[in-house]
With several copies, the nearest count.
Chain A
Amino acid sequence: MYIKRLELSNFKSFGGTTPVPLLPGFTVISGPNGSGKSNLIDALLFCLGLAGSKGMRAERLPDLVNHTQTSRSRSTVEASVTVTFDLVGMGGMGGGQQLETVNGNGNGNGKNAVSAVDTTLTVVPDPLPEGDTASSPFSLHASLEWSVTRKLRVTQQGTYTSNYYINGQPCTLTELHEELNRLRVYPEGYNVVLQGDVTRIISMNSRERREIIDELA
């Protein structure tokens, strides 16, 4: 599993819609100071709900909308980020029994989206041996993709709404985090190391450092 594509619309220094295709393995992002490298990482945190506005270097959430957009427009402005994962190879996620637990949850708050998510997520088969695809009932899911979108709408008066979507269907942050946990993406998992995190760890006192392990335990 890996991140296949990022799509940023009016997010921070990105105007219009900017697609960023990604591949598995080792990719470096480089460019001049102030050109938008950290903003790409912020887009990832924003979409997956892994950080608050402070963690994305913004005073308030509305500051994340591209300034040119907010200063030009008279009506509501919108910023959005979509992260598309390629799930090929996730077969080991445990198949059927996943479906049981989530449905229990999903019905509770009546959101269809969660079970829809589940269909894509949980029954992803191990890649079949070549030539055998015709017999698999799920070969329809040729794309084996899973996408998360977050939209931020800001009105002229400065009030805002922020919504999460999984595969285009609305969901709550809690549901999103549950699905992400299943994919082994944890908000406190330290898999995203921000500019300055290394210095932060160095200047922490020893108690704060111990608390990091508490969270993981």
Chain B
Amino acid sequence: RQQAFKEAFDAVNINFQAIFAELSDGDGHLQLDDANDPFNGGLNLVAHPKGKPVQRLASMSGGEKSLTALSFIFALQRYRPSPFYAFDEVDMFLDGANVERLARMIKQQAKQAQFIVVSLRRPMIESSERTIGVTQARGAFTQVLGIDLLPQSASV
């Protein structure tokens, strides 16, 4: 069991370092409380945004925390790739530049798998291949609009 954990941990850690560097231009890694006996402790996300001292999740800003947590989620996904991904407003804490960086990464990954991303942010909508509009008029059912099956420019 420890063996299987170690193998998963090492792989996810390598993914995390690569993804965090791509999303935030800094260095990050996963740290076990007790490396010799992992089941005895927990796991910390340690990040070192460019030019800042190394810090734990707790002392980062809202946006830095969410970029670190996102990197961890993506690192888990890379360990067990799937044919499709669905994300629901994962970009809400990010500033414009970070939304763009995240959108670029998704666009890149979308060559190998399907990505369905719910977002209210303009840079994300603009980088997608197509947008599905959803609306609900007063008291009516949800309507799915503008299923624009052709590659499109931003409609927002």
Q: Which residues of A contact B (CB under 8 A)?
A: 1-3, 12-16, 18, 20-41, 44, 57-59, 63, 66-68, 85, 183-186, 189-199, 201-202, 205-210, 212-214, 216-217
The 9 closest A-B pairs by CB, nearest first: A206-B42, A33-B63, A36-B142, A15-B141, A31-B134, A210-B43, A26-B110, A217-B8, A191-B82
Q: Which residues of B contact A (CB under 8 A)?
A: 1, 4-5, 7-9, 12, 32-33, 38-39, 41-45, 49, 52-53, 57-67, 69-70, 72-73, 76-77, 79-90, 93-95, 97-98, 106-107, 110-111, 113-120, 124-125, 127-136, 140-144, 147, 149, 156
Q: Are B86 and A30 in touch, CB under 8 angstroms?
A: no
Q: For the A-B complex with A209-B72, A210-B32, A213-B9 known, give 16 more contacts whose Cβ atoms are closer than 8 Å.
A: A16-B141, A23-B149, A30-B131, A30-B133, A33-B67, A34-B64, A34-B136, A35-B136, A183-B83, A185-B83, A186-B80, A191-B82, A193-B87, A199-B66, A206-B41, A209-B45
Contacts of A214 in B (CB 8 A): 5, 39
Tell me whether A193 and B130 are in contact in the complex, defined as CB-CB below 8 angstroms, given that A28-B118, A29-B116, A33-B63 are known contacts: no
* A31: min CB distance to chain B, Å: 4
Contacts of B120 in A (CB 8 A): 30
State in angstroms the CA–CA spacing of A217 and B48 once bound together: 27
Contacts of B131 in A (CB 8 A): 27-30
Contacts of A195 in B (CB 8 A): 62, 88-89, 118
